[in-house]
Amino acid sequence: MTESLQQIAKAMVAPGKGILAADESSGTIKKRFDAINTESTETSRRDYREFMFRTDEAMKNYISGVILYDETIRQTSADGNATPLVEIIKAAGSIPGIKVDAGAKPMAGFPGETITEGLDGLDERLAEYYKLGARFAKWRAVIDISPTIPTNACIEANTEALARYAALCQKNGIVPIVEPEVLMDGDHTADRCMEVTEATLRSLFNALARHNVLLEGTILKPNMVVSGKKCATQAGIAEVAEKTITVFKRTVPAAVPGIVFLSGGQSDELATAHLDAMNKLGNLPWALSFSYGRALQAAPQKAWGGKAENVPAAQKAFAHRAKMNSLAALGKWDAKLEKA
Ligand code: 13P
């Protein structure tokens, strides 16, 4: 029996579980490896991702799904058994997913803004990814903030593309993660981030309705409402939690089973603290969890440093962050646990 979109979406946001975003493009993972003085080759990328997916403590207990990059969904294990990495993820009880957008490209006529590409041929690519084992997908749109942007044109073009992507996913039996990321670069206030996030989510859910996307089989991956990195006054944890939830209550229908955050450049511990504070507010119609890239992988990457002998320490660091974020997804995290 094939699983329904609703069943997959529900499993992706099972209590205390969240998603590992390991879908860095070859360009992005090179930047991460440069920071730990490690050469980025097809083999080093495989070795790194394989030991992450073989971290049983994290994968079996806290990670409901993994977002892969096209290269990784086709790779096999280092041990000569040619086990697909997808099978390692499944053996841990986790669901393989795939990034399918082709990146954010400069939007013609709108300086400083981007439109995410990748719709051409997407139907066929999704059918192939399904055969390779993917049961959910991700598409990221990028909305930047300055005194003059985002424009309505940028928001509308990006949410229209997100909705077309989501409809194609569902046609192929794949749950779409819709990711409209309002960036935290810049010096804007949390209030400005709130205003832009609200406009973006309102536009997104209009577009999803227009394209007949089944909300029960869709997962939202948004930013939190935070102050711009260069803003002189930074909103505190309680303010971020309150503003973020206020925006969601205004814009995200209760039929959406879950909301999983991106970390977006927040420190590891702050990404955890914010998620925990939101879940502690309680009484929310959607599961609220994580789909972190950097906030789950920065610590293990640092501990690994590209050296095989450091793999156990790196796996320990990954399991620790996964556990902290699992507790935050339940509203049961405490800063004291970070030192334990
Ligand atoms: P970060 O958590 O590093 O923002 O990555 C999440 C992601 O998948 C961005 O598309």
Encode pLDDT of 223-281 as tens digits: 999 999 999 999 999 999 999 999 999 999 999 999 999 999 999 999 999 999 999 99
The pTM (predicted TM-score) of the whole model is 0.97
The residue extents of the domains of the chain are 2-339
Q: Which residues contact 41 (CB under 8 A, 6 or more apart)?
A: none
Mean pLDDT of 100-119: 98
Closest CA to 101 of 121, 84, 118, 113: 118
SS3 72: helix
- Residue 255 C-alpha to ligand 1 middle, in angstroms? 24
Measured between alpha carbons, how far is 134 from 86 in angstroms, rounded to an integer?
8
Please state the atom number of ligand 1 nearest to the C-alpha of residue 179: 10
Measured between alpha carbons, how far is 195 from 182 in angstroms, rounded to an integer?
11
What percentage of the chain reaches a pLDDT higher than 70? 99
Average pLDDT over the chain, rounded to whole?
Answer: 97
Measured between alpha carbons, how far is 88 from 70 in angstroms, rounded to an integer?
16
Is residue 2 pLDDT above 80, yes or no?
A: no
Is residue 1 pLDDT above 60, yes or no?
A: no
Mutate to test the pocket of ligand 1, among 274, 291, 297 (most ligand atoms within 8 A of CB): 291
Query: Which helix (H) or strand (E) is 291 found in, with range?
Result: strand 287-292
CATH of 2-339, one of 3.40.50.300, 3.20.20.70, 3.40.50.10190, 3.30.70.1560: 3.20.20.70
Please state the atom number of ligand 1 nearest to the C-alpha of residue 294: 3
Measured between alpha carbons, how far is 303 from 316 in angstroms, rounded to an integer?
9
Over residues 187-197, the pLDDT tens digits come to: 999 999 999 99
Task: Ligand 1: list residues with CB < 6 Å.
Answer: 21, 140, 179, 262-264, 292-295
Yes or no: say if 80 and 51 are a contact pair by the CB < 8 Å rule: no
Q: Point out the residues that are catalytic.
A: 179, 221
- Residue 295 C-alpha to ligand 1 middle, in angstroms? 8
Over residues 201-215, the pLDDT tens digits come to: 999 999 999 999 999
Model confidence at 340, pLDDT cuts 50, 70, 90, reads: low
